[in-house]
Amino acid sequence: MLGYSLQGRPIHLWQLTRGIRSFLLIGGVHGDEVEGYGLIERYLASGKWGSLESKAALWAIPRLNPDGCALGQRLNANGVDLNRNLPTQDWVAASLEARYPPGPAPGSEPETQALLASLAQIRPQFILSAHSCQSNPCVNYNGPALELAQAMAAHNGLPVTDDIGYPAPGSLGTWAGQERQIPTLTLELRRGTPLDQVWQEQAEALQAVLEWAAQDDAF
């Protein structure tokens, strides 16, 4: 376990497989995006990750924002957008949009601190964070992750983009992908898709991108 949310819910970090390279799956950064964290949770339950054993150390934080997931809200219990709260070079106190309050200071939230601790511990070579959105589902990539995004898109048919159309200071894509060149995918699923359908459409894509990343010459 990584730590506790503001309301005292545990934030779990699971290690699924072992290997030299480390990969990290993240869900539930935004608590109202059940399509994203539902996919990660179902993947964990499926056991499909077993094929990665000894090829890569696969880690997962299925619900980074367990309070938001319990309350069905995007933000954490302090009303902070955890995907704007990371200590990036471009972090700003001003909220660019009302939906994205970045918090009183970079890294101020316990959930953000838990994520930073896991990143320091795992030092992942590849990160995938699953979200959902009302319009423009896509495989968004930051850092050297174009081929990973394409490996995923080949199976789920979503457009690949390195530009979500608005700045995202304090986001994981900026912190890990842009500033540290850690290949980072932000999978944006369509909001409102039933979980069975999400699984049908995404299970192979998720498996394929992990298998792709686990190849000896992937990075």
What are the residues binding Zn ion (CB under 5 A)? 30, 33, 131
Supply the minimum distance, in Å, between the C-beta of residue 131 and Zn ion. Answer: 3
Supply the minimum distance, in Å, between the C-beta of residue 167 and Zn ion. Answer: 15
Alpha carbons 76 and 6: distance in angstroms, whole number:
8
Q: In angstroms, what CA-CA distances link 5 with 10, 11, 12, 100, 217?
A: 6, 7, 10, 19, 38
Q: Which is nearer to Zn ion, 33 or 67 (CB)?
A: 33
Q: Which is nearer to Zn ion, 55 or 131 (CB)?
A: 131
Q: Which residue has the tokens 């290690």?
A: 15
Give the residue at shortest CB distance from Zn ion: 131
Q: Which is nearer to Zn ion, 17 or 186 (CB)?
A: 186
Q: Which is nearer to Zn ion, 30 or 42 (CB)?
A: 30
Alpha carbons 119 and 5: distance in angstroms, whole number:
17
Among left, alpha and beta (phi > 0; psi -120 to 50; other), residue 71 is alpha
Q: Which is nearer to Zn ion, 16 or 133 (CB)?
A: 133
Instruction: Give kind and range of the element (H or E) at residue 107.
Output: none
What is the rounded end-to-end Cα distance, in angstroms, of the chain? 29
Supply the minimum distance, in Å, between the C-beta of residue 62 and Zn ion. Answer: 14
Q: Which is nearer to Zn ion, 16 or 189 (CB)?
A: 189
H helices within the chain, ranges in order? 34-46, 66-71, 110-122, 146-156, 172, 179-180, 195-214
Q: Which of 137, 2, 141 is nearest to 65 (CA)?
A: 2
CB atoms within 10 A of CB 58: 27
Supply the minimum distance, in Å, between the C-beta of residue 50 and Zn ion. Answer: 28
Supply the minimum distance, in Å, between the C-beta of residue 32 and Zn ion. Answer: 8
Supply the minimum distance, in Å, between the C-beta of residue 29 and Zn ion. Answer: 6
Q: Which residue has the tokens 């842009």?
A: 178
